[in-house]
Amino acid sequence: MSLISINPATGQRIHIYGSHSSVQIEAALKQAHTAFFAWRELSPTSRAKHLRALARTLRKQLDDLADLITAEVGKPITQSRAEIEKCAKVCEYYAKHGAEFLADEHPPGAPKQAHVVYEPLGTVLAVMPWNFPFWQLFRAAAPALMAGNTLILKHSANVCGCALAIEQIFHDAGVPTGVMQTLLIPSKEVEALIKDPRIAAVTLTGSTEAGRKVAAQAGAALKPCVLELGGSDPYLILEDADLDKAAEICAAARLVNTGQSCVSAKRFIVHQKVRSEFQKKLVKRIASYAVGDPTDERTQIGPMARLDLRDELHAQVTKSIRRGAKLLLGGKPLPGPGCFYAPTVLTRVKPGMPAYDDEMFGPVAAIIGVSSDEEAMRVANDTPYGLGAAIFTRDRRRARELTPLIDAGMVYINDSVRSDPTLPFGGVKQSGFGRELGVWGIRAFVNIKTVWSA
């Protein structure tokens, strides 16, 4: 089977990749399994040296890697560079703190002759999406590898170039052979990998549909998994919010990576007293963003990653308008080559519209008016997702009182939701389970073992 990489800004084919054969898959599994026994025996200090080498290699190749992201995904080049830098930082973070996260512990109140140790599981299968092709992998790989696991990457078909470049980075950094490998395979072959006894655990970032399949397959094989899935993040703008600041942050949060992020702002839940003023400010902000060639440093919004994704988004917008949503900006594909979609703002969004009910994975903002904090909480939680959320208000005490009422893995006050190497990242409900990053990420794929010495 062939896997095709297409430049979404031009519509032109970049490269056709052949899938790895069954013989190559078997060789990769064998090599990862063999490499694990040597890798886990390295001290945390030795593994940390490899992670620092990865960080140096990422920075050395930053421009070339960023160009590759922009070519395959259509991400504005400044954001692609920032993605590579973030990968370097997460490697450095675990190199610095990994040993203390993995140190033996004596739990409070435990018998004095007992302690807890953290040991690697084996080879982790990473099933990754296209929207942050390097960051999604490195935020899972850095802690997993620091813990002593090895890793096999199955990436999205449209970013095969990035997937192979990631494997090359590990080679260039001098990481031992077999510790991290890329397999170019179609999604239908993932189940066989999960069933293989040499795969110890699975981490997936992707759609909720993909998460259900992988969770079922991992469950059947009795293997742990971490799932970071879809989101329809609510951003609550209360009547006392600083509307200029809120509009600025909300526009940026909606349009990062051309709106193609599970944790970007999706639904703007605005108190009716300030809805009219806020939406004017939001429209002005979003309209000011430069759309165009993603290789141009002035561009802030590039193309969507694929034509089918653009068509799906437009169908959601069109159906929402037919059902009563009011179009304030955009609402259509842009003419010319590539997968460009006009930055769009919808208001008067209500239940029964895709803009309310579904995840909108593109540059579309949905504004929902509410009359009270109670209604705002109800609307915020009226979704199958629970990844991130944000609250905008001048009253921090009020925000802290509302925070526990929101079904989400992360809540930010007067700021946009984002991942940080030091903090747990993940969601609840159909946004998945498990956590990445911080101490929680490195302990996601370890055997937490009790040791009793009589």
Just list the catalytic residues: 228, 262
Phi first, then psi, for residue 211 (nearest 5°) are: -65, -40
Residues 6+ apart with CB under 8 A from 7: 13, 14, 71, 72, 74, 338
Contact 224, 57 (CB under 8 A): no
What is the rounded distance in angstroms from the CA atom of residue 293 to the CA atom of residue 427?
Answer: 33
Tallying the residues shown for the chain, one arrives at 454
Please report, to the nearest 10 degrees, the dihedral formed by the alpha carbons of residues 72, 78, 84, 85 taken in order.
180
Q: Which 8-state DSSP code applies to residue 319? A: H
Give the span between the Cα atoms of 436 and 225, in whole angstroms.
11
Q: Which two tokens stand for residue 24?
A: 């190559």
CA dihedral angle for residue 96, residue 97, residue 98, residue 99, rounded to 10 degrees = 90
Given a contact cutoff of 8 angstroms between Cβ atoms, the answer to whether 287 and 330 are in contact is no
| Spatial contact of 373 and 350, defined as CB atoms under 8 Å apart | no
Q: Tokens at residue 346, please? A: 């919808």
Instruction: Please give the distance of CA 382 from its chain centroid, rounded to a whole number.
Output: 22
245/223 Cα distance (integer angstroms): 45
Q: Tokens representing 79? A: 């954001």
